[in-house]
């Protein structure tokens, strides 16, 4: 943490490519804790070498939010999970997964304690320009496309099962005719 804290950082937003910084690590950590750093955003100390934000362990982006049984958001921070709760994007019944230890639990089963990084910012730390909070809302078109693909796969599996059933039924009938004695 000390190595990260002793440097100025830059944040590059994935969606629009805008760059924020230089800024102290404490500010970057607060942004991560308030859902302003998304999983695909990148961070750098020199603007030459960029790393995905979740790859910086000091940010604590260790949580995946189970948006649906097939769709996840993250990794993100505990503070971001609290922000998503506040915004109504998730609720206490939403499952989250800790990527460090693999544990899976409902939000209402875990103590959501903001890390030290999310303490109130001092006036000199706050930049007049900051990234907008990253939402985790699902693009409805993407969800529809995912559901349509799942439906096609299920229909294909059903057709294959029905065909296997017909083949087995024919085999059964053939065996039954050979085994049963002729009627007089």
Domain ranges in the chain are 2-138, 139-184
Per-residue pLDDT tens digits for 103-115: 899 998 877 544 3
Asked whether residue 117 carries a pLDDT value surpassing 50, the answer given is: no
Contact 133, 35 (CB under 8 A): yes
Residue 139 φ/ψ region, left for φ over 0, alpha for ψ in the -120 to 50 degree band, beta for the rest: beta
At residue 183, the pLDDT reads 63
Confidence band, pLDDT 50/70/90 cuts, at residue 1: very low
Residue 120 pLDDT more than 70?
no
**What is the H or E stretch that residue 119 is in?**
none
CA distances from 100 to 41, 60, 64, 104, 122 (A): 20, 10, 10, 11, 31
Nearest to 139 by CA among 65, 71, 42, 92: 71
Percentage of the chain exceeding pLDDT 90: 35
Residue 46 has pLDDT above 90, yes or no: yes
Query: What is the per-residue pLDDT for 152?
Result: 83
pLDDT (0 to 100) of residue 45: 94
> pLDDT class for 121, splitting at 50, 70, 90?
very low
The sheet with strand 8-12 has its strands ordered as 19-24, 8-12, 42-44, 51-52
**Burial of 72 (C-beta count, 10 Å sphere; 0-12/13-18/19+):** middle
What sign does the CA torsion over 167, 172, 175, 180 have? negative
For 146-162, what is each residue's pLDDT tens digit? 667 777 888 888 999 99
Two tokens at 29?
């950590």
**pLDDT-derived band at 136, boundaries 50, 70, 90:** low
In tens, the pLDDT along 49-101 reads 999 999 999 999 999 998 887 788 888 888 888 888 888 888 989 999 998 88
Average pLDDT over residues 26-45: 91
Q: Are 173 and 165 spatial neighbours (Cβ–Cβ below 8 Å)?
A: no
> Do residues 61 and 75 make contact, with C-beta atoms less than 8 angstroms apart?
yes
């Amino acid at each position: 943490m000390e190595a990260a804290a002793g440097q100025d950082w830059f944040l590059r937003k994935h969606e629009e490519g805008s760059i924020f910084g230089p800024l102290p690590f404490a500010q970057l950590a607060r942004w991560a804790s308030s859902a302003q750093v998304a999983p695909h955003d990148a961070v750098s100390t020199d603007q030459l070498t960029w790393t995905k934000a979740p790859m910086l362990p000091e940010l604590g982006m260790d949580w995946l939010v189970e948006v649906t049984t097939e769709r996840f958001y993250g990794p993100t921070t505990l503070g971001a999970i609290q922000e998503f709760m506040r915004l109504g994007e998730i609720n206490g019944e939403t499952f989250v997964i800790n990527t460090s230890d693999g544990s899976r639990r409902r939000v209402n089963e875990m103590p959501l304690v903001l890390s030290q990084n999310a303490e109130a910012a001092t006036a000199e730390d706050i930049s007049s320009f900051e990234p907008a909070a990253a939402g985790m809302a699902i693009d409805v078109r993407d969800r529809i496309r995912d559901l349509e693909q799942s439906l096609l796969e299920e229909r294909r599996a059903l057709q294959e099962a029905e065909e296997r059933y017909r083949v087995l039924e024919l085999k059964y009938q053939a065996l039954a005719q050979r085994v049963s004695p002729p009627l007089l």
